[in-house]
């Protein structure tokens, strides 16, 4: 019998790293990495201290040291957890860096010409400074709007056919070709529209409507896919409940299935619009580029924002800075339009979503 | 209201698989008929053939005939939509329409069919149906709230109100209480007792006490083994099935020796 008895260890408990320990290890890893690299730089082994090298080396140090530390204190499962957390976070940061950099660059460069004149002037008779993109904004909205008017009914009805009615080889074929269409390069869609309209109007035709047709070739498969997903997640019980009330199938689809999934469908359509609004190649071919305002979809060239950005950059004048500034402002406007569309999609989804509450 | 159902030599298929074989029985008007039997024996499949809900599943079909007051549901030219207006159905899981209020859920059979109805008629129909389903007092102050906000038992009674609002002749209930607690179950059973005055009711249940409490006649279905079709083993007055069944398998099942 010993005099001192230790309390029996709880078999369910094990050591835990303090909540702040990982952060301290992280700071220490980066400090060590910076120290090692600056020593190497001082010794002349490498050129100069490089921040990217510090970040890479620091991350590697952190992953190794938190793994070793955690496996000593907490055991193997927790160590694996910490290492995987570190790897996943690294991947996330890597993915976010280009996005943040892009937004920052566009905002920084675009603000120079993001003024009233930019939104009230076209480029007609503008040489050098001044001018604006109102013709391009109008063209983009007109062509994307027309593309949406063409694509949404076709895409939505196709999705309804596939989910509610389609059985057998025809449905399988449609699904297959929708998948193929998703992969069409946008330049091919532009060439298709150009060839199609050249058949009717002769070679060299340029019009906004042809651009809209090219965009809808790209947009239809996206609309079909997203609407199909949304319709499929409507529970079958709701369809059966409706059938059991003696409601015909078409009314069930129209009044039960669509209202239940309308939020998701709207979001999908908005995202499809956001996807095609930035297309450059097909519009460059079939809608051409112009410095003038054109609101007629069925005649003459029509400018669009992505093409405006491209031509401003590609065909710089003597005062090249003015063209570059306009290009950046055009890119910023395009990003803002897409952002507004996405926000609208969110709001609409929230507004239409089935309500739960007592 | 309420009609006699006669089923003659009914075989039910899912594609090539025969799920239910050779069912022949007669369901009397203004009565409650319970289908009991182990899982997978084809009770639910069979009840869905009584209002042509079975064929909603791709590849599913039926051989034989189901007569409702002498009219064959599976005769040539029969419109399943008209059949379902005569034979309503309540499902295992409460399924109110999530986009609709309580009131709209009750009126769903009218509004979904694009029929016009005046506001006062609609109000009367909502009150009558909800009272019929014993739900009026609980929801009369919040008819405009979403139906999905009710408790499970209330949702199921809402579904029953929705079914009786289209004034069918027959109400089919596929395990209506299996997702509910005993109190809600009791409420539904009381309701079935009342509905029996006006409707022909068919109920599938796993709960043998429930079958013995609510039904006038009971049909026992069984299955010989996995992959074999389910069969109607015995069909008789509930009191006979539960006290003195003529088939050994029925006795074993109701006394809890298997299943």
Instruction: Flag whether B216 is in a domain.
Output: yes
Q: Which of A235, A245, A259 is facing B109, going by the closest CB pair?
A: A245
Please determine, looking at this structure, whether the domain spanning A116-352 carries the CATH number 3.10.20.740. Answer: no
> Which chain B residues have a beta carbon less than 8 Å from that of A358?
142, 145, 149-150
Q: Any idea what the CATH number is for the domain that residue B17 is in? A: 3.40.50.300
Interface test with A, best of B98, B106, B145 (most A CBs within 10 A): B98
**Enclosing domain of residue B74:** 5-96+170-255
Instruction: Flag whether B186 is in a domain.
Output: yes
Give pLDDT tens digits for A39-59: 888 887 777 778 888 899 999
Instruction: Flag whether B23 is in a domain.
Output: yes
> Which chain B residues have a beta carbon less than 8 Å from that of A354?
98-99, 146, 148
Per-residue burial over A205-233, b = 16 or more CB atoms within 10 Å of its CB, e = otherwise: bbbbbbbbbbbbbbbbbbbbbbbbebbee
pLDDT for A58 equals 93
- Looking at chain A, which residues constitute the CATH 1.10.3720.10 domain(s)? 116-352
What mean pLDDT, rounded, does chain A reach?
90
Is the reported ipTM for this assembly greater than 0.90? no
pLDDT for A346 equals 87
Name the minimum distance, in Å, from the CA of A219 to any CA of chain B: 29
Residues 6+ apart with CB under 8 A from A196: A210, A213
Q: Within an 8 Å CB–CB cutoff, is residue B58 touching chain A?
A: yes
Instruction: Flag whether B212 is in a domain.
Output: yes
Tokens representing A53 are: 């090298």
- DSSP 8-state class, residue B50: T
pLDDT for A2 equals 46
Helices A134-160, A258-277: axis angle to 10 degrees equals 140
Instruction: Flag whether B10 is in a domain.
Output: yes
Q: How confident is the model at residue B237 (pLDDT cuts 50, 70, 90)?
A: very high
> What is d(CA B47, CA B92) in angstroms, rounded to the nearest whole number?
12
- Domains held by chain B: number: 1
- 3-state secondary structure at position A13: coil
Given a cut of 70, whether residue B145 has pLDDT beyond it is yes
Q: How confident is the model at residue A138 (pLDDT cuts 50, 70, 90)?
A: very high
Name the minimum distance, in Å, from the CA of A255 to any CA of chain B: 6
Q: How confident is the model at residue B226 (pLDDT cuts 50, 70, 90)?
A: confident
pLDDT for A6 equals 57
In this prediction the pTM is 0.83
User: How large is the average pLDDT for residues A272-289?
Assistant: 91
Angle CA B13–B203–B169, to nearest 5: 90
Name the minimum distance, in Å, from the CA of B92 to any CA of chain A: 10
Instruction: Flag whether B238 is in a domain.
Output: yes
């Amino acid at each position: 019998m010993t005099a001192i008895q230790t309390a029996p260890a709880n078999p369910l408990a094990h050591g835990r790293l303090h909540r702040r320990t990982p952060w301290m290890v992280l700071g220490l890893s980066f400090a060590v990495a910076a120290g090692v690299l600056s020593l190497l730089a001082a010794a002349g082994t490498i050129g100069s201290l490089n921040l990217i090298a510090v970040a890479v080396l620091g991350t590697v140090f952190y992953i190794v040291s938190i793994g070793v530390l955690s496996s000593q204190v907490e055991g193997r499962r927790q160590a694996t957890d910490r290492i995987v957390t570190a790897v996943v976070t690294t991947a996330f940061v890597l993915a976010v860096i280009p996005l943040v950099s892009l937004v920052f660059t566009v905002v920084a460069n675009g603000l120079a010409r993001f003024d009233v004149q930019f939104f009230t002037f076209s480029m007609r008779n503008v040489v050098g400074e001044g001018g604006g993109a109102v013709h391009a904004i109008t063209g983009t909205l007109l062509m994307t709007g027309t593309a949406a008017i063409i694509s949404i009914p076709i895409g939505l009805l196709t999705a309804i056919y596939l989910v509610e009615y389609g059985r057998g080889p025809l449905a399988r074929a449609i699904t297959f070709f929708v998948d193929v269409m998703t992969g069409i390069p946008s330049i091919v869609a532009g060439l298709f529209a150009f060839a199609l309209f050249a058949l009717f109007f002769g070679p060299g035709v340029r019009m906004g409507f042809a651009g809209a047709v090219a965009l809808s070739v790209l947009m239809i498969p996206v609309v079909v896919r997203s609407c199909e997903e949304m319709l499929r997640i409507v529970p079958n019980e709701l369809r059966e409940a409706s059938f059991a009330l003696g409601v015909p199938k078409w009314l069930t689809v129209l009044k039960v299935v669509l209202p239940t999934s309308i939020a998701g469908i709207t979001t999908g359509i908005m995202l499809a619009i956001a996807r095609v609004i930035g297309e450059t190649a097909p519009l460059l071919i079939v809608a051409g580029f112009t410095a003038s305002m054109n609101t007629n979809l069925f005649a003459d060239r029509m400018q669009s924002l992505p093409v405006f950005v491209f031509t401003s950059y590609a065909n710089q004048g003597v005062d090249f800075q003015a063209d570059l500034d306009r290009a950046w402002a055009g890119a910023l406007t395009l990003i803002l339009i897409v952002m507004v569309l996405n926000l609208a999609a969110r709001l609409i989804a929230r507004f239409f979503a089935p309500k739960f509450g007592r | 209201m309420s009609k006699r159902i006669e089923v003659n030599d009914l075989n039910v298929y899912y594609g090539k698989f025969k799920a239910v074989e050779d069912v022949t029985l007669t369901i009397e008007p203004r009565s409650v008929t319970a289908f009991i039997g182990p899982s997978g024996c084809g009770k639910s499949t069979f009840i869905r053939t009584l209002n042509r809900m079975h064929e909603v599943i791709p590849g599913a079909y039926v051989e034989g005939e189901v007569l409702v007051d002498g009219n064959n549901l599976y005769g040539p030219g029969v419109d399943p939509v008209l059949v379902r207006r005569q034979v309503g159905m309540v499902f295992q899981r409460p399924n109110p329409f999530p986009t609709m209020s309580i009131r709209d859920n009750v009126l769903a059979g009218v509004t979904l069919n694009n029929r016009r109805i005046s506001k006062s008629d609609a109000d009367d129909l909502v009150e009558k149906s909800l009272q019929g389903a014993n739900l009026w007092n609980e929801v009369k102050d919040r008819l405009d709230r979403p139906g999905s906000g009710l408790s499970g038992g209330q949702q199921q009674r809402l579904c029953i109100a929705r079914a009786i609002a289209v004034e069918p002749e027959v109400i089919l209930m596929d395990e209506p209480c299996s997702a509910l607690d005993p109190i809600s179950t009791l409420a539904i059973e009381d309701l079935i007792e009342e509905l029996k005055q006006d409707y022909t009711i068919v109920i599938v249940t796993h709960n043998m006490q429930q079958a013995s409490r609510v039904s006038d006649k009971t049909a026992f279905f069984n299955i010989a083994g996995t992959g074999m079709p389910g069969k109607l083993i015995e069909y008789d007055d509930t009191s006979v099935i539960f006290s003195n069944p003529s088939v050994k398998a029925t006795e074993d099942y109701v006394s809890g020796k298997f299943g």
